[in-house]
Amino acid sequence: MEWYAAVDLGATNTRALVADTDGTAHGRARRPTPQADGQAITRAVVATLERARDAAGVAPDALAAIGVGSIGPLDTDAGAVVAPPNVPADRIELEAALSERTGAPVTLRNDAIAGVRGERRFTDAPENTVYLTLSTGVGAGVAVDGHVLHGHRGNAAEVGHLSLVPGGRPCGCGGTGHWEAYCSGAGIAAHARSLATDHPTRLDPDELDAAAVFAAADPDTVTASVAETDAVERLSTDLPEAPPDGEGDALATRVVADAVRVNARGVAALAHAYAPELISVGGTVALSNSDLLVDPLPDLLATAGLAVPAPDVRETPLDGDAVIRGALASVLPE
C-alpha cells in the first residue's frame, strides 16, 4: 500500500490528512494556524501532518508524496509562502521543511489552485471550471480545457487583488478597492469597523468579525437593496434602512449588500477572463452564508450584461475539503 499526505494551510486553520492510493482518508488532524512568525507556522504544519500520519497508523518514512494547498502568495521555485497579507509571517518555508522531516517529495500549490484540482478529481466539474474561495482571503483556481493554470511561481488567478471598486477600501496587500477588501472574512470585518466610526451600529467593534456582521444583517433588506440598484455597476452609497421591526442592523446590512455586489463584479470578471462552464464556490465565508453570497449569483450574472455565456454557479460539493482534497489530487497517481 502506498500512502499519500495532504495539507491545507489556511490563515485560520491548518489541516492534514493521510490517504491511500484511491484517495480514501485514513487519518486526519487539524489545529488553529499560529498567528505568529513563519517558523512557528512551519512547525505547526509539520506537527499537524505527523498527527494525521499517526492517526492513520502510517510509519514516519512511509509517505510516497505530500501535496500542500496553501495561502499565497507563493514562490513555488523556493517552496515557500512569501509576504502573505492574512497572517503576520514574512515567509513560511514549506517544501524543504516537510521533505526534510519525512523524506517524501512535496508539491506546493496555492489553496485555490488546489481547490480546482479537487473539483476536477473528486466531483463532476467540467474541463472549464473555476474554483472560487471566499475565506479569510479571496482567490480562485482555474482549469481551462482541462489544464489547471499555475502561472509564474504558482500565483495564477490571485483574483482577490483584482481592483473592482475605483477609489475603494484599502486591502491587506496595500492596494485599494480589491475584491478581498469587501468579500473576505477579514475584509468584511474591516469594512464594518471602518463604517462604524461614522454610523450607529449595534455591532461591538471589539468583537467584530464576518460571522457577527452576517448575524446582524437583515437578509431581506440585503436582497432588496441589491435588486434595487445595478448590482454589477454600483455600490451603495447610503446605508439601507433597517427594517421597521428593528431586527437588522443597518450597518451590517450595508456591508453584506456591498459584499454581494462586489462578488457579482468579481464573478463577472472571472467569466470574461476564463470562460468557465462552472464556478464552484467554497471557503468558510461562502459556505456559512451561501444563501446570501452564492445563491444570488446566477441571477446577478444573468442581469449583468456579460459578453460571454454565463457560467453555472454552485456551492462546492466538497464542502470544507476542496483544498485538502485538491492538495491530495496533486500528488495521487492518475
Binding site for Zn ion (CB under 5 A): 161, 171, 173, 175, 178
What is the rounded distance in angstroms from the CA atom of residue 260 to the CA atom of residue 293?
6
C-beta closer to Zn ion: residue 15 or 161 = 161
C-beta closer to Zn ion: residue 73 or 311 = 73
Q: At its nearest, how many Å lie between Zn ion and the CB of residue 105?
A: 32
Q: At its nearest, how many Å lie between Zn ion and the CB of residue 178?
A: 4
C-beta closer to Zn ion: residue 72 or 282 = 72
C-beta closer to Zn ion: residue 120 or 178 = 178
CA 225 to chain centre: 25
Q: At its nearest, how many Å lie between Zn ion and the CB of residue 159?
A: 10
Q: At its nearest, how many Å lie between Zn ion and the CB of residue 11?
A: 14
Crossing angle (nearest 10°) for helices 185-195 and 250-274 = 140
Q: At its nearest, how many Å lie between Zn ion and the CB of residue 136?
A: 13
Longest dimension (CA), the chain: 64
C-beta closer to Zn ion: residue 6 or 138 = 138
Q: At its nearest, how many Å lie between Zn ion and the CB of residue 161?
A: 4
C-beta closer to Zn ion: residue 178 or 254 = 178
User: Are the C-beta atoms of residues 301 and 271 closer than 8 Å to each other?
Assistant: yes
Q: At its nearest, how many Å lie between Zn ion and the CB of residue 215?
A: 26
C-beta closer to Zn ion: residue 51 or 193 = 193
**Cell numbers found for residue 94:** 514549506
C-beta closer to Zn ion: residue 173 or 217 = 173
Which of these, 333, 299, 328, 321, lies nearest to 133 by C-alpha position?
Answer: 321
User: Are the C-beta atoms of residues 160 and 178 closer than 8 Å to each other?
Assistant: yes
Q: At its nearest, how many Å lie between Zn ion and the CB of residue 168?
A: 11
